[in-house]
Amino acid sequence: MAFLADALSRVKPSATIAVSQKARDLKAKGRDVIGLGAGEPDFDTPENIKKAAIDAINRGETKYPPVSGIPQLREAIAKKFKRENNLDYTPAQTIVGTGGKQILFNAFMATLNPGDEVIITAPYWVSYPEMVAICGGTSVIIKASQENNFKVTAADLEKAITPKTKWFLFNSPSNPSGAAYSHDELKALTDVLLKHEHVWVLTDDMYEHLTYGDFKFVSPAEVEPKLYNRTLTMNGVSKAYAMTGWRIGYAAGPLELIKAMDMIQGQQTSGACTIAQWASVEALNGPQDFIPANKKIFEARRDLVVSMLNQAKGIVCPSPEGAFYVYPSCAGLIGKTSPSGKVMETDEDFVTELLETEGVAVVHGSAFGLGPNFRISYAASEEQLEEACKRIQRFCANCK
């Protein structure tokens, strides 16, 4: 009898974590490596947020918290949804988890039975289909084309829905493509969902505050209030507030679902770290002026990377509306021979050869369900990004 659970055979390791670890390993051996694999802002957590955490420690806020989050944070979350998304939730309709991953996992664990389907748009965050698999569900993948700016259409969604569909998992702005849906683009999708009352919406709004130019972010239940009673709106402090290591994600939705998620979390981790929760209260309630300042920096980095990558032989790089990723195509290099003499047959071959030859760590697109592409995180200094892009240009020029 096998010792490990059958579920593990359905799950792949995280490609983004693997790339970051490989870059660290090479650095430890003395290699000059520029790691652009991690989805993590390079800014420090703002001082007022750090001070709120220190104050919480000094006040002795070090006991077990309620499973769903401290009342002050749940109230701040409800206010945030009203203030920024025009969504009315009571604090009891909110839940705090150890990062967005736990929110998603708990939602799937609370709702999926064997055979239940979850519609996921590709390219997708690497963890989505793996979470669905662990929880016994089946992922139904809709591939979004580069020609349509990595966005799916209403017709794509309609075609994917079956009587077994339980969730439509929606992420805008997207990790990995940076694609973001306008009000009208999202309304076309919500119009489809209105016709299928058995389908719920799980929206991952983690990159909400990172959109560029005149783009205006909207969330599904905001666009279509009739979907309110079957939408779980997930967010967190990781990206906009540069708080990745604090591990706080949150969501709001129908009370019955929140209670089910609370029950699972109560048997799994209980409440998230109290100190991180108090820091998150300050993040949501405190000054927000650093967010536009950080956005301007990210936007300049995006423009630099898009421009330089489009000058690399065989690379085509669209300019995304949000997040801090670009998702260029390396189709022009598939079948070519790398400087080391290896024929690159896949995007994974491309990123492996790029790392070995030039010391630039990026993530292959097939890990996100759509290739031949690769993801670059431009959450790094302009100097690093410029040097990395020069290395990519050199690598591509030397491929035959």
Q: Is pLDDT of 19 > 80?
A: no
Do 189 and 154 meet the contact criterion of CB atoms below 8 Å apart? Answer: yes
Q: Is pLDDT of 247 > 80?
A: yes
Gap between the terminal Cα atoms of the chain: 50
pLDDT of 2: 84
pLDDT of 15: 76
Tokens of 3: 């010792």
CA distance 58 to 90: 30
DSSP one-letter code for 305: H
**Segment 226-238, tens digit of pLDDT:** 999 999 999 999 9
Q: Is pLDDT of 224 > 80?
A: yes
Extended strands (E) in 43-143: 94-97, 117-122, 138-143
pLDDT of 12: 80
Extended strands (E) in 290-359: 325-326
Please provide the average confidence, as pLDDT, over all residues in the chain.
96
Q: Cα torsion for 84, 284, 107, 375, to the nearest 10°?
A: 80
pTM: 0.95
- When pLDDT is averaged across residues 53-67 and rounded to a whole number, the result is 98
pLDDT of 10: 81
134's CB contacts (< 8 A; 6+ apart) are 7, 10, 11, 105, 108
Q: Is pLDDT of 11 > 90?
A: no
| Of residues 81 and 40, more confidently modeled | 81
DSSP one-letter code for 318: -
- When pLDDT is averaged across residues 28-32 and rounded to a whole number, the result is 89
Least confident stretch, 33-37, 288-292, 389-393:
33-37
Helix (H, G, I), strand (E, B) or coil at 323: coil
pLDDT of 1: 82
- When pLDDT is averaged across residues 34-40 and rounded to a whole number, the result is 88
Report all structural domains of the chain as residue ranges with CATH numbers, in order of start.
6-44+290-397 (3.90.1150.10), 63-285 (3.40.640.10)
Which helix H or strand E contains 235, and what residues bound it? Answer: strand 231-236
pLDDT of 39: 83
β-bridge pairing 363-364 and 374-377? antiparallel
Extended strands (E) in the chain: 34-35, 94-97, 117-122, 138-143, 165-171, 200-204, 231-236, 249-252, 325-326, 360-361, 363-364, 374-377
